[in-house]
Amino acid sequence: MIKVGIVGGAGYTAGELIRLLINHPETQIKSIYSTSQAGKPVYSIHQDLVGETDLVFSDQLGANLDVVFLCLGHGNSKEFLQSNDLGTAKVIDLSNDFRLSKDANFDKMEFLYGLPELNLEKIKKADAIANPGCFATAIQLALLPFASGSHLKGDVHVNAITGSTGAGQSLSATTHFTWRNNNVSVYKAFNHQHLGEIGESLKSLQTDFDHSLHFIPMRGNFTRGILATAYTHTTLELDEIKALYQGYYEQSAFTFVADSPIHLKQVVNTNKALLQVEKHGDQVLITSIIDNLLKGASGQAIENMNLMFGLDQQTGLKLKANYF
């Protein structure tokens, strides 16, 4: 069994990790570290786990772990690693501390960007993974096939909407029910923090990509899921585009290309990503949908763990969508 430690155990991503890992056939959770909740039953915070586990939050991470998931706020993973010796444990970080190439080397660790649809074989050999961001995952999956064939010939325009869990568990004016309910808004237009990792991934496949990515993120009045639409100029015909996408994702464990229009309920509560392509005049439109907490965070983290430990990529992640 893979001995697991989770750091920052009280947040949304940690809750999803715990839910999945207690049912994973090859893992045993040894420690759930939380300074704010130490001594309390895990189900007292993650209330969907009542009757599922007797695990208790701890103020000690424990030793002899095989893998540690860092579910800390952005900027806090570096501080934790500086203060704690994890021994030989592999590390999967869910923050943005190590996603960019300039941040990948930390102390004696070398973090690899953990998008399986981009770095599958490298992940199998990695000891430290920087788990991609949720918006970044949805947008990259929409664009990677085009970049792989050097077909991104102009600016790319992206509009994406995410559920309220994307903002994390901390309360703010824009997560309050009376503000969020029946409401939609734009935030961080053109300067979202995920743009850096998206750009690096695209350039890793298409080295001459020097155009702009215009990204408008939106807050939705629902709890989870991301729907992203991306469009750009192309001279390819629709049949060529579909063949490009089908070929790129032919061996993918979780990303699939649909023939008909897609909607969020097809992927919520799963580690699946669905894509659909259309062409309108000289513009290609790619729609991408994921669950922001699973394929956009905790599910993808477990997908990476499976690859790092030589397991089937889908182990513990065969989940049914909340379709109704």
- The CATH number given to whatever domain includes residue 226 is 3.30.360.10
Residue with tokens 């209330």: 47
| Whether residues 7 and 21 fall in one domain | yes
Residue type, position 144, single letter:
L
Residues 113-117 have a mean pLDDT of 98
Let me know if residue 169 belongs to a domain.
yes
Instruction: Note whether 79 and 160 are same-domain residues.
Output: no
Ordered alpha helix ranges (H), 114-216 = 116-124, 134-148, 177-180, 195-205
What is the residue type of 55? Answer: L
- Count: domains in the chain: 2
58/34 Cα distance (integer angstroms):
6
Examine the domain organization and report whether 223 and 279 are in the same domain: yes
Amino acid 250: pLDDT:
97
Domain of 248, in residue numbers:
134-290
Task: Specify whether 141 is located in the same domain as 238.
Answer: yes
214 plus 117 within the same structural domain: no
The per-residue pLDDT for range 131-162, each reduced to its tens digit, is 999 999 999 999 999 999 999 999 999 999 99
CATH number of the domain where residue 11 is located: 3.40.50.720
Q: Is 113 among the domain residues?
A: yes
Name the residues annotated as catalytic.
Answer: 134
Shared-domain flag, residues 280 and 156: yes
Q: Are residues 208 and 92 in the same domain?
A: no
Three-state secondary-structure class, residue 257 = strand
Confidence of residue 18 (pLDDT cuts 50, 70, 90): very high
The answer to whether residues 209 and 222 belong to one domain is: yes
Residue 284 sits in the same domain as residue 145: yes
pLDDT tens digits, one per residue of 275-290: 999 999 999 999 999 9
According to DSSP, residue 276 is labeled E
Evaluate if residue 171 carries a pLDDT over 80: no
Residues 103 and 83 in one domain: yes
